[in-house]
Amino acid sequence: MTRLIYDVSMSLDGFSAGPNQSPENPMGDGGEQLGEWRRELAAFRKKYPFAGLEGGVTNASTAVFEDDTSGAMIIGRNMFGGGHGPWGDPPWDGWWGGNPFHVPVFILTHHPREPLVPHGDQPFTFVTEGIRAALEMAQRAAAGKDVLVGGSASAAQQYLAAGLLDQIDIHLVPVFLGEGLRVFDDAALSAITLEQGRVVEAPGVTHLRFRVVR
């Protein structure tokens, strides 16, 4: 059964990005610290050559990083980038020069656009019909594997509030960002029941897993 999983790196004060996000500053001020645990892994550097990093370490985070059950991904417009509003001419094609995620990616947006199929990579599909339509498309594409909601706090909150998330994987990073994009900031969340899953202590991060009880 395909599950819907929210995977997010979060600061101790609850942010997934710092303030002043922009095309030049996609994670916001200080936000790049949230990805450091991942970027230093040899496994990450090998899987994502776009990052331009070699070498790296192997530690308790490696097994967490490699335990990737996803067959498709849903992200918000914010994570795909290119600012707000229509896509422009030439349109923004993502931060990465291709699709680095090795799975089909579905992007929630208000602005219609033809699918983008980077040469040799899995497609980016732009979905304007809302979160349920994106989930159905991603589930078909995942072909029995899980669907990951990445990056955007607002996309994940919509899925969570709609009762559609099955699991939340939080990579808790010991930094304060002070301001930015709050991961959990919705009064409606109090209706949701969680069950604590495994905890993995690793250098500079604690990996926490929670299951949503239906």
Q: Is residue 201 close enough to count as binding its own copies by CB under 8 A?
A: yes
Least spacing, CB of residue 155 vs its own copies, in Å: 17
Within residues 151-180, the interface with its own copies by CB under 8 A covers: 170, 172, 174-179
Question: Going residue by residue from 25 to 64, which x/- string records binding to its own copies, judged by CB under 8 A?
Answer: ----xx----------------------------------
Q: Is residue 12 close enough to count as binding its own copies by CB under 8 A?
A: yes
Q: Is residue 116 close enough to count as binding its own copies by CB under 8 A?
A: no
Q: Output 48 or 210, the one with its CB closest to its own copies.
A: 210
Phi and psi at residue 209, to the nearest 5°? -125, 135
Q: Is residue 196 close enough to count as binding its own copies by CB under 8 A?
A: yes
Residue 199 C-beta-side C-alpha neighbours within 13 Å: 5
Total number of residues binding its own copies (CB under 8 A)? Answer: 37
The residue written with tokens 């339509």 in the block is 133
Classify burial at 115, counting beta carbons within 10 Å of its beta carbon; exposed 0-12, middle 13-18, buried 19 or more: exposed
> For residue 82, what are its two tokens?
């290119």
> For residue 56, what are its two tokens?
């790296």
Answer whether 61's CB lies under 8 Å from 202's CB: yes
Q: Is the dihedral of CA 2, 50, 10, 111 positive or negative?
A: negative
Query: Measured between alpha carbons, how far is 206 from 126 in angstroms, rounded to an integer?
Result: 33
Classify burial at 92, counting beta carbons within 10 Å of its beta carbon; exposed 0-12, middle 13-18, buried 19 or more: middle
Q: Output 53 or 208, the one with its CB closest to its own copies.
A: 208
Interface residue with its own copies among 54, 120, 144, 187 (CB under 8 A) is 187
Q: Output 83 or 174, the one with its CB closest to its own copies.
A: 174
Interface contacts to its own copies, rule CB under 8 A: 12-14, 18-19, 29-30, 170, 172, 174-179, 183-196, 198-199, 201, 204-206, 208, 210
